């Protein structure tokens, strides 16, 4: 059977939810004994058997990545992944923050390819809004109650299906004042569990999205809870994109791509500290991340002050810059525009040893490995 297989029949792609059971995930393990990451394995069972004394549970020793909308079917049906190398570097960085052995880039890329490959029938057709979400995660699993590095680290790459995200409607943001996401010189630049669970309860009080100031001085803009901050200044025909420069924010692949696109349009790009007061001077603000792509912000409120900044007159439509950048990004991702930046992987193929028996309509009968 040729690779990749066609999208699976009978799926309503625009109404996809994470509830769809995909074929399985990929696992590789680092052990102290070998000091290397094992050959990737295909595991059908989404559940993991982990010792209850593993440091992931007690000390939050885990790091993850998120590649949403980043595995695409191009016009001809072939599958590409968007900028997986960026995610490989970021996972290495996140792992280093929580004492997890680094996953070499080539190994990361291979595992991500395999995870998408064995689930290729769930990569939605080009002309639908459904999407695939790739979720790599690595954690300390050896039983070890000492605050010491453990013996074993599983690295898993999960695939989740997701429906269209109708997220282009501009959002109202709230600046969080009684909760700081991360400390200076802390772990804020890493996708590590501890940075996220506290945010779940941070009160958004009816707002759509929360914005964090720097926790040391509360005078500079850092980022939204799960997406990057991008401000746009318009001065006549001159457009400038401004992004925060801070040690504590996540380096965002979407924000990075947006900066490249802006430069290609001959817009100026400034990466520098952004004072809170500067919120007055932006004509558009966007939240960027692979989960949302690029969502316009229509207001920012800081409750301890009378401040409420309004953008694009509080319109329900995205501003012109957000619309332009989102369209350009989509066109490259969908293969409608030339990828002049080299962001898309080569046309994907599964390594021969993974054999076509993993592809197409998979039944437990023709699976080789399962757990
Ligand atoms: C993942 C994440 C982002 C967005 O990064 P992308 O690589 O664009 O998806 C921004 N901020 C935080 C805190 C994040 O966790």
**Predicted local confidence at residue 302, as pLDDT:** 96
pLDDT band for position 211 (cuts 50, 70, 90): very high
In this structure, the residue with its CA closest to atom 8 of ligand 1 is 289
Report CA(64)–ligand 1 centroid distance (Å). 11
Which atom of ligand 1 is found nearest the CA of 225? 13
The answer on pLDDT for 309 being more than 60 is yes
DSSP strands (E only) in the chain: 25-31, 41-43, 62-64, 67-68, 71-73, 79-81, 131-139, 152-162, 171-175, 209-213, 221-224, 228-235, 238-244, 268-272, 284-289, 293-301, 308-310
Which atom of ligand 1 is found nearest the CA of 291? 9
pLDDT band for position 165 (cuts 50, 70, 90): low
Best CA proximity match to 307, nearest among 264, 277, 270: 277
Which atom of ligand 1 is found nearest the CA of 290? 9
Q: How far is CA 11 from CA 6, 129, 135, 359, in A?
A: 12, 12, 21, 17
Which atom of ligand 1 is found nearest the CA of 67? 9
Higher pLDDT, 172 or 349: 172
Higher pLDDT, 250 or 169: 250
Which atom of ligand 1 is found nearest the CA of 224? 11
> Mean pLDDT highest for which of 194-198, 312-316, 328-332?
328-332
Report CA(250)–ligand 1 centroid distance (Å). 6
User: Which of the following is catalytic: 191, 298, 303, 347?
Assistant: 191
pLDDT, mean of residues 307-316: 92
In this structure, the residue with its CA closest to atom 1 of ligand 1 is 226
- The best mutation among 289, 325, 343 to test binding of ligand 1, ranked by most ligand atoms within 8 Å of the C-beta, falls on 289
In this structure, the residue with its CA closest to atom 12 of ligand 1 is 226
Please report the domains of the chain, with CATH numbers, ordered by start residue. Answer: 19-163 (3.30.470.10), 171-334 (3.20.10.10)
**Predicted local confidence at residue 361, as pLDDT:** 33
Best CA proximity match to 138, nearest among 157, 115, 155, 159: 155
**Predicted local confidence at residue 167, as pLDDT:** 59
pLDDT, mean of residues 345-361: 59
pLDDT, mean of residues 343-362: 61
**Predicted local confidence at residue 166, as pLDDT:** 58
pLDDT band for position 368 (cuts 50, 70, 90): very low
Report CA(80)–ligand 1 centroid distance (Å). 21
Average pLDDT, whole number, for the chain?
89
98, 190 Cβ separation under 8 angstroms: yes
**Predicted local confidence at residue 13, as pLDDT:** 81
pTM above 0.75, yes or no: yes
The answer on pLDDT for 328 being more than 60 is yes
- The best mutation among 88, 290, 292, 293 to test binding of ligand 1, ranked by most ligand atoms within 8 Å of the C-beta, falls on 290
**Predicted local confidence at residue 95, as pLDDT:** 98
Best CA proximity match to 109, nearest among 136, 88, 92: 88
pLDDT, mean of residues 224-238: 94
pLDDT band for position 241 (cuts 50, 70, 90): very high
**Predicted local confidence at residue 181, as pLDDT:** 86
The answer on pLDDT for 66 being more than 60 is yes
pLDDT band for position 352 (cuts 50, 70, 90): low
In this structure, the residue with its CA closest to atom 4 of ligand 1 is 289
The answer on pLDDT for 369 being more than 50 is no
Q: Which residues contact 152 (CB under 8 A, 6 or more apart)?
A: 29, 30, 31, 32, 140, 141, 142
- The best mutation among 250, 251, 255, 326 to test binding of ligand 1, ranked by most ligand atoms within 8 Å of the C-beta, falls on 250
The answer on pLDDT for 233 being more than 60 is yes
Annotation marks residue 316 as catalytic? no
Report CA(279)–ligand 1 centroid distance (Å). 21
Residue-by-residue DSSP string for 311-347 = SGGG-SS--HHHHHHHHHHHHHHTTSS--TT--BPSP
pLDDT band for position 231 (cuts 50, 70, 90): very high
Which atom of ligand 1 is found nearest the CA of 288? 8
In this structure, the residue with its CA closest to atom 10 of ligand 1 is 227
**Predicted local confidence at residue 255, as pLDDT:** 97
Report CA(37)–ligand 1 centroid distance (Å). 26
Query: Which residues line ligand 1 at a C-beta cut-off of 6 Å?
Result: 66, 191, 223, 226-228, 250, 252-255, 288-290
**Predicted local confidence at residue 357, as pLDDT:** 46
pLDDT digits (tens, 9 = 90+) for 13-54: 877 666 688 989 999 999 999 999 999 999 988 999 999 999
**Predicted local confidence at residue 5, as pLDDT:** 84
Structure tokens at 296: 């316009």
Report CA(184)–ligand 1 centroid distance (Å). 18
pLDDT digits (tens, 9 = 90+) for 125-144: 998 888 899 999 999 998 88
Structure tokens at 158: 């999960």
The b-or-e profile of 271-305 (16+ CB within 10 A means b, else e) is: eeebebeebeebebbbbbbbbbbbbbbbbbbbeee
> Mean pLDDT highest for which of 85-99, 202-216, 326-340?
85-99
pLDDT band for position 175 (cuts 50, 70, 90): very high
What is the CB neighbour count within 10 angstroms for residue 346? 8
- The best mutation among 66, 97, 188 to test binding of ligand 1, ranked by most ligand atoms within 8 Å of the C-beta, falls on 66
**Predicted local confidence at residue 2, as pLDDT:** 73
């Amino acid at each position: 059977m040729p690779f990749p297989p066609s999208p699976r029949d009978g799926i309503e792609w625009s109404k996809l939810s994470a509830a769809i059971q995909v074929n399985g995930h990929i696992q590789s393990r680092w052990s102290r004994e070998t000091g290397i990451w094992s050959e990737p394995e295909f595991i059908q069972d989404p559940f993991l058997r982990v010792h209850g004394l593993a440091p992931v549970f007690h000390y939050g020793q885990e790091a993850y990545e998120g590649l949403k909308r980043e595995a695409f079917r191009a016009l001809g049906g072939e599958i590409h992944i968007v900028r997986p190398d960026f995610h490989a570097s970021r996972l290495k960085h996140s792992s280093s923050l929580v004492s997890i052995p680094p996953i070499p880039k080539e190994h990361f890329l291979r595992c991500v390819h395999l995870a998408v490959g064995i689930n290729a029938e769930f990569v939605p057709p080009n002309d639908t809004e459904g999407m695939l979400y790739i979720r790599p995660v690595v954690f300390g699993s050896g039983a070890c109650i000492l605050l010491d590095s453990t013996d074993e680290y599983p690295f898993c790459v999960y695939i989740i299906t997701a429906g269209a995200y109708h997220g282009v409607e501009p959002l109202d943001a709230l600046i969080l004042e009684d909760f700081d996401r991360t400390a200076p010189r802390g772990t804020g630049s890493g996708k590590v569990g501890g940075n996220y669970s506290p945010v779940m309860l941070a009160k958004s009080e009816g707002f759509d999205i929360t914005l964090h100031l720097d926790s040391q001085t509360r005078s500079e803009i850092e980022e939204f809870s799960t997406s990057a901050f991008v401000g746009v200044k318009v001065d006549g025909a001159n457009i400038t994109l401004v992004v925060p420069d801070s040690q504590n924010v996540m380096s965002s692949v979407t924000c990075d791509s947006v900066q490249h696109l802006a430069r290609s349009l001959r817009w100026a790009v400034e990466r520098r500290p952004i004072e809170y007061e500067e919120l007055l001077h932006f004509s558009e603000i966007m939240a960027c991340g692979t989960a949302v792509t690029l969502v316009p912000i229509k207001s920012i409120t800081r409750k301890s002050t009378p401040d409420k900044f309004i953008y694009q007159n509080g319109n329900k439509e995205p501003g012109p810059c957000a619309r332009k950048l989102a369209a350009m990004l989509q066109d490259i991702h969908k293969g409608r525009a030339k990828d002049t930046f080299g962001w898309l992987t080569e046309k994907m193929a599964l390594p021969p040893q993974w054999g076509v028996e993993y592809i197409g309509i998979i039944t437990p009968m023709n699976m080789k490995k399962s757990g």
